[in-house]
Amino acid sequence: MTAVIAASNLSKWYGNVLGLNDVSLEVEEGITGLLGPNGAGKSTFMKLITGQMKPNIGTVTVRGQKVWNNPEVFSGIGFCPENDVFYEDVTGWEFLTGLLRFYGYAPAEIRERAARALDIVDLAKDKDRLIRGYSRGMRQRVKVAQAIAHDPEIVILDEPLSGLDPLGKRKLIKLIKDFKSEGRTVLVSSHVLPEIEALTSRIVLVHQGKILAQGDIPYIRELIEAHPHQISVRSSDPRALAARFLGDRSIQKMTFAADGRTLVVETHKRDDFFGRLTGVVLEDGIEVEEISSPDDNLQAVFEYLVGK
């Protein structure tokens, strides 16, 4: 598949701080999730591909065209910034129609597009209220509306789900998925794994300005096999339990949690550990209250990969 957005050896620094370090990435049609903790470099990457910043090193193109100081390219790009910022003294309708003027549409088309976009984000009935008076969720939605009102081929959303209530999140996730079915390219960032997981299986993990891993979720899950699994066992006698596993070579590390009742085990062979644990419990009669493994969710994969 052809890359819609192509970044090659992209580096960006702010004084002595490295924002992005030698990042090469090709974004294809469909939804791509950019995942990383705050300060990882997601927003820097998005600002570079939307021409808000220019790279110190490397190149970035959208549909083969450079973006820095190339206004033509923005006819096909919709960008939703992360920051909760607006021209506050206007209504949602005025905000949208005002920004749509910058695409050269006729007044009737501006009105039509603004109405459609506000309708999509469920703000039609609040369109005449000042943005200043919008709730956080409404502000987030009007921000998305301005990104899609001109029907762009590429939609870039920086933390679009942040601040939304569960219902708002669900609606926006559905909307973003609809973009995909309409054949658009969507690049969406988040620091919350379940949000990205709900949107797409194609994810790019970013940390400390670098791409840590990229691929679909099964691929990312495979990566975890190179890292030890963490399993917590809460028991009436965690020390006796630990003693039974001391000679086990598959165990990398054992620690006791602060509550004094939980043994935390790190192992490469999770299934073997569970097999032995069952035997120990049965043989020694040690009471196990709870077994949990943070590795069972994607968050753990992410945390391992970023070295937390």
Partner 1 sequence: MNTPRSIREIFGFFFFLGRRTGKTRVFALLGLIPVVLAVVVRIVLHGRSGDIAAVFTEILMVFFLQFYIVILALFYGTSVTAEEVENRTLSYLITRPLPKPAIILGKYAAYALLMFAMVAVSLTLSFFVMNAARLREPALYLTFLSYLGVLGLGILAYTAFFTFLGTVLKRAILVGLVFGFGWENVIQYFPGSTQRFSIVHYLKSLLPYRPAPGGGGKGVALLLFRLEPTSTLLAVLALIGIGAAFLALACWLFRMKEYLYEE
In angstroms, what is the minimal distance from the CB of 133 to partner 1? 14
Please say whether the beta carbons of 8 and 24 come within 8 A.
yes
In angstroms, what is the minimal distance from the CB of 143 to partner 1? 9
- Which CB sits closer to partner 1, 5 or 53? 53
In angstroms, what is the minimal distance from the CB of 160 to partner 1? 14
Q: Return d(Cα 99, Cα 16) in angstroms, integer.
A: 36
Among 7, 31, 32, 74, binds partner 1 (CB under 8 A): 74
- Which CB sits closer to partner 1, 33 or 51? 51
In angstroms, what is the minimal distance from the CB of 85 to partner 1? 4
Is residue 77 involved in binding partner 1 (CB under 8 A)?
A: yes
In angstroms, what is the minimal distance from the CB of 77 to partner 1? 7
Among 5, 10, 79, 206, binds partner 1 (CB under 8 A): 79
- Which CB sits closer to partner 1, 121 or 231? 121
Site for partner 1 in 4-23 (CB under 8 A): 14
Among 1, 2, 16, 72, binds partner 1 (CB under 8 A): 72
In angstroms, what is the minimal distance from the CB of 305 to partner 1? 25
Written in H, E and C, the secondary structure of the chain is CCCCEEEEEEEEEECCEEEEEEEEEEECCEEEEEECCCCCCHHHHHHHHCCCCCCCEEEEEECCEECCCCHHHHHHEEEECCCCCCCCCCEHHHHHHHHHHHHCCCHHHHHHHHHHHHHHCCCHHHCCCEHHHCCHHHHHHHHHHHHHCCCCCEEEEECCCCCCCHHHHHHHHHHHHHHHHCCCEEEEEECCHHHHHHHCCEEEEEECCEEEEEEEHHHHHHHHCCCCEEEEEEECCHHHHHHHHCCCCCEEEEEECCCCCEEEEEECCHHHHHHHHHHHHHHHCCCEEEEECHHHCHHHHHHHHCCC
How many residues bind partner 1, per CB under 8 A? Answer: 30
In angstroms, what is the minimal distance from the CB of 296 to partner 1? 35
Structure tokens at 268: 């490469």
Site for partner 1 in 80-139 (CB under 8 A): 81, 83, 85-87, 89-90, 94, 98-99, 101-104
Among 146, 189, 190, 214, binds partner 1 (CB under 8 A): 146
Give the interface with partner 1 as residue ranges (CB under 8 A).
14, 47, 50-54, 69, 71-75, 77, 79, 81, 83, 85-87, 89-90, 94, 98-99, 101-104, 146
